[in-house]
Amino acid sequence: MKVLIIDDSPDALQVAKARLAKEQLSVVCADGGKAGLEAARRENPDLILLDVDMPEMCGFDVCRALKSDPDLCMIPVLFLSGSAAPEDKVQGLDLGAIDYVAKPFDAFELRARVRAALRTKHLQDLLIEHAHIDPLTGLPNRRALNERLQCEWARVERHGGQMSFIMADIDHFKTVNDRFGHQVGDRLLQEISQVIAGQCRKTDIPSRLGGDEFAILVPDEKAENAAHLAERCRRRAEMACVVAKNGAAQTTVSFGIADSRGVDSPEALIARADEALYRAKGSGRNRLDIVIDPQLATPAAGAVAPTVCLSAENQPLAT
């Protein structure tokens, strides 16, 4: 695990690093508050040892900045200070630090407190991971998808580019449950989830929204390109099969695709993909429906957004 030590004193940095040498940790040092914040963003450590008394930017200010940053706020902070004043300890703990060690610190005490903090961080990471994973399929759940969608949206707004969103719904899934039972239905959900995850790149984010609905966040791709991913998923889903006592449970999947061009919010992007999925289901199922922004597809102002709907044979049905 990685520990970041932030202190303006080179001697203090070396002493703290030496005290932790036996802990088999990756230790990174930063000279001062501003350098410490940069190192925290760059290194994403598991624990930060933070000196209180630093010029320009004191430890309390660094801690405030860490806890106000969504990407850094979950990193535990352990304050190091030559002051043993109770008010300083209270202020540090109120800012979100998990512990406080007075200088000059005892080597055994420091190592014990670091081990305790890292154990807590490990358990915290496990809880966060489980809170973001769908227990049936092992895919990221709706909460995880929403968080990644917000991050990707912010990236697109800052740096430009685009991203696509794919909605997927299993066709006639209720019929599967009614005929074969919910255990077989759950196994089929697992099969479909493996199909979807297996077709995604490392940068894509497949997820289970709930029930028989899935989604894929596709960074850096237009809807036309994301449709190729959806089509691969559709074809593989046709082959998914769960053998039961009373037959083989098989199904198909419909997809709706939209991208961020001409969309003003993540919610609007989801709504477009959901509308496309609704049309794909209404047009016969086991097909794709792509929504493209009208201003990007045609110069005619106020035109209706064109839809490309692909049949099971991958032939255009309507535009």
Residue 315 has pLDDT above 80, yes or no: no
Give the model's pLDDT for residue 294.
58
Residue 18, pLDDT > 80, answer yes
Please write the tens of the pLDDT for every residue from 285-299. Answer: 999 999 876 555 433
Element (H, E) at 54: none
Q: Are 7 and 19 in contact (CB under 8 A)?
A: no
Question: What pLDDT score does 302 carry?
Answer: 29
Among 6-15, 255-264, 300-309, which is the least confidently predicted range?
A: 300-309
Confidence (pLDDT) at 72: 93
Of the pLDDT bands very low, low, confident and very high (cuts 50, 70, 90), residue 89 is confident
- 305, pLDDT greater than 90: no
For residue 104, cis peptide bond before it (omega within 30 degrees of 0): yes
Q: Are 208 and 214 in contact (CB under 8 A)?
A: yes
Q: What pLDDT is recorded for position 296?
A: 56
Q: What is the pLDDT of residues 126-185, one digit of tens each?
A: 888 888 999 999 999 999 999 999 999 999 999 999 999 999 999 999 999 999 999 999
Domains and CATH numbers, the chain: 2-131 (3.40.50.2300), 142-318 (3.30.70.270)
Asked if residues 196 and 233 have their Cβ atoms less than 8 Å apart, the reply is: yes
**pLDDT at 218 > cutoff 50:** yes
Residue 119, pLDDT above cutoff 80: yes
Residues 277 and 167: beta-carbon distance below 8 Å: yes
Q: Is this prediction's pTM over 0.75? A: no
From the list 99, 88, 93, 117, the residue with the least C-alpha distance to 20 is 117
Given a cut of 60, is residue 97 above it in pLDDT? yes
pLDDT at 85 over 80: no
pLDDT computed for residue 308 by the predictor? 47
Residue range 182-207: mean pLDDT, rounded: 96
- Confidence check: pLDDT of 111 > 60: yes
pLDDT exceeds cutoff 70 at 311: no
Provide mean pLDDT across the span 29-46: 95
Mean pLDDT for the stretch of residues 197-211: 95
User: Given this model, what pLDDT does residue 88 score?
Assistant: 82
Using pLDDT thresholds of 50, 70 and 90, give the confidence band for residue 251: very high
Contacts of 237 (CB under 8 A, 6+ apart): 192, 195, 196, 251, 252, 253
Q: How many CA atoms lie within 13 A of 22 on its CB side?
A: 6
Res 147: pLDDT: 93
19 has pLDDT over 70: yes
- Which H/E stretch holds residue 27? strand 26-30
Q: What is the pLDDT of residues 268-288, one digit of tens each?
A: 999 999 999 999 999 999 999
